[in-house]
């Protein structure tokens, strides 16, 4: 886990996203109620993936398939690659947002532009996490989940609450990966303390990590009892 912490700082982050642009009231008043109604109906119609996005998604599946053919322990050294993959997909989300518009860059229109990239990001979180669990790389699965949690927290916050569903789905999925890993892996005390600290930091972004904190504390409690009984 320490290796990942150092490598994470080496990655180049994209510039901080531009702040929301307030809608010009004069422009806003020119919109008719009919066009607003059409916009409301369009919010639920997700934009299909472009050819480039489909290629990127297929590439992710191919990488996962290649990983499944490797020896289980071989993936441990590839955590930096997985982190870079998530960083690229988060970057693509922001690149898809049209910042030059005269309205909020977190509205339904911008969400529809970013949605395919959000889906690709979610698939990467899911597939790589499941592969690490399948290969019984419990510690690596925890590290990957925490790194993915941080990147998920950096995704755009949309004006419409329902548009943040992909973010919540990522949090829920990553928390499930952590729970599964913790049920098979009990870190030594020093690692457990650091893991507990990072879980607490992750909780600032979403309460969905709370069961993971409880599971870690339960495991630590049981380990202490076992240690006392062997004395």
Range of the domain at 59: 49-229
Tell me if 80 is assigned to some domain.
Answer: yes
Give the chain's length.
Answer: 231
CA distances from 45 to 52, 124, 157, 171 (A): 20, 23, 19, 23
Tell me if 187 is assigned to some domain.
Answer: yes
- pLDDT tens figures, 126-182: 999 999 999 999 999 999 999 999 999 999 999 999 999 999 999 999 999 999 999
What is the count of structural domains for the chain?
Answer: 1
Task: Specify the DSSP class assigned to residue 181.
Answer: H
Supply the pLDDT for residue 41: 43
Separation of alpha carbons 169 and 146, rounded Å: 15
Residue 103's pLDDT band (boundaries 50, 70, 90)?
confident
- pLDDT tens figures, 13-67: 434 444 444 444 433 433 433 433 344 444 444 455 565 556 556 655 555 555 4
Separation of alpha carbons 149 and 154, rounded Å: 9
Tell me if 23 is assigned to some domain.
Answer: no
- Mean model confidence pLDDT for the chain: 76
Confirm if 145 and 177 have CB atoms less than 8 A apart.
yes
Tell me if 65 is assigned to some domain.
Answer: yes
CATH code at position 138: 1.20.58
pTM score, whole prediction: 0.68
Tell me if 173 is assigned to some domain.
Answer: yes
CA atoms in the 13 A half-sphere facing the CB of 183: 8
- Cβ-based neighbours of 122, under 8 Å, separated by 6 or more: 166, 169, 170, 173
Tell me if 81 is assigned to some domain.
Answer: yes
Q: Both tokens of residue 173? A: 């999925």
């Amino acid at each position: 886990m320490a290796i990942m912490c150092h490598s994470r700082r080496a990655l180049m982050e994209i510039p901080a996203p531009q702040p929301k642009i307030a809608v010009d009231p004069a422009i806003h008043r020119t919109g008719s109620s009919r066009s607003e109604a059409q916009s409301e109906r369009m919010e639920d119609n997700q934009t299909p993936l472009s050819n480039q996005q489909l290629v990127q998604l297929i590439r992710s599946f191919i990488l996962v398939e290649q990983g499944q053919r490797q020896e289980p322990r071989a993936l441990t050294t590839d955590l930096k690659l997985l982190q870079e993959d998530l960083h690229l997909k988060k970057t693509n989300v922001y690149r898809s947002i049209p910042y030059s518009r005269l309205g909020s860059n977190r509205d339904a229109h911008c969400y529809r532009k970013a949605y395919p990239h959000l889906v690709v990001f979610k698939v990467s979180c899911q597939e790589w996490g499941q592969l690490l669990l399948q290969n019984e790389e419990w510690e690596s699965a925890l590290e990957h989940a925490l790194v993915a949690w941080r990147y998920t927290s950096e995704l755009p916050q949309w004006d419409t609450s329902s548009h943040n569903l992909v973010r919540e789905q990522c949090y829920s999925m990553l928390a499930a990966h952590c729970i599964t890993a913790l049920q098979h892996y009990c870190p030594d005390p020093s690692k457990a303390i650091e893991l507990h600290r990072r879980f607490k930091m992750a909780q600032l972004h979403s309460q969905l990590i709370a069961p993971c904190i409880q599971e870690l504390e339960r495991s630590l409690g049981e380990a202490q009892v076992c240690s006392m009984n062997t004395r």
